[in-house]
A and B are shown apart, each in its own frame.
Chain A
Amino acid sequence: MSTVKIPPVLRQAAGGERTVEAKGANVGEVLTALCEAHPAIGKQILTSDGELHKFVNVYVNDEDARLMQWTDTPVGDDDTLLILPAMAGGQ
């Protein structure tokens, strides 16, 4: 299982955990497993269509997953993912 680092903003949704373990062969599968285990996180980071919100960043071992294969990026037991919702807006 991969390790997912939970930033403070999502910690309450993860039951207060700083890190959680989630199973999956790629980023998408890990995030699906995470959101199934912690539906409150899914509410925060997924769109109403169940897609990862485009303003949510995911890092795999500190590398931007969007610059890799995004949700198809393969991950294993030694990998650490970080979910980071953007601070963004506009007038």
Chain B
Amino acid sequence: MKLSPGLAETIIVHAREEFPNECCGLVAGRDGVATRVLPAINTEGTPFMYVMDPREQMDLMEQIEDSGEDLLAIYHSHTRSAAYPSKTDVELAFFAEPLYVIVSLQDENTPVIRAFHLERSAAEGEQITEQPVEIN
């Protein structure tokens, strides 16, 4: 996935605004190039979990579809751990096509953004596949 520095910054700013709670949102794009970041509400409002507001989720997905863009990624933050999917992230990864982007604020001065394909129904050891994030 290609992400402009400005859009990467939007995700990081969202994560910092919600800190210490997790943030979440969507990334729209075309042909693997991000065009928009759409921040959403984490209805859990905790440092340990995110659940996107379902109605907002539906609205944002329809917005992306209606504009002819693709849902490139679902993003969320890890405020105390690395930018790598947790067991819960994998168990709740219903979306096989979009990437799951994780921004880690474990080191608050050096946020890390990584992206993964997650397949919850795949065999253990084959559920997580990292995909490159090109920020430029």
A8-B65, A55-B92, A56-B94 given as contacts; is B121 within 8 A of A87 (CB)? no
CB-based nearest B residue for A44:
B94
Q: Any chain A CB within 8 A of the CB of B71?
A: yes
Query: Hey, what's the 0/1 contact readout for B70-86 against A, CB within 8 Å counting as 1?
Result: 01001010111100011
- A57 and B54: CB pair below 8 A? yes
- B121 and A86: CB pair below 8 A? no
- A90 and B48: CB pair below 8 A? yes
Q: Any chain B CB within 8 A of the CB of A24?
A: no
How distant is the Cα of A86 from the Cα of B51 in the complex, in angstroms?
7
Q: Any chain A CB within 8 A of the CB of B15?
A: no
How distant is the Cα of A91 from the Cα of B104 in the complex, in angstroms?
10
Interface residues on A, range: 20 to 34
- A86 and B86: CB pair below 8 A? no
- A89 and B94: CB pair below 8 A? no
Query: Hey, what's the 0/1 contact readout for B9-47 against A, CB within 8 Å counting as 1?
Result: 000000000000010101000000000000010001001
- A7 and B78: CB pair below 8 A? no
Q: Taking beta carbons and an 8 Å cutoff, which residues of B are in contact with A?
A: 22, 24, 26, 40, 44, 47-52, 54, 57-58, 61, 65, 71, 74, 76, 78-81, 85-86, 88-89, 92-97, 100, 121
Can you list 26 A-B pairs with a CB-CB distance of less than 8 A? A7-B58, A8-B61, A8-B71, A44-B94, A53-B94, A56-B94, A82-B58, A84-B57, A86-B51, A87-B24, A87-B26, A87-B51, A87-B52, A88-B49, A88-B50, A88-B52, A89-B49, A89-B76, A89-B92, A90-B22, A90-B48, A90-B89, A91-B47, A91-B48, A91-B81, A91-B89
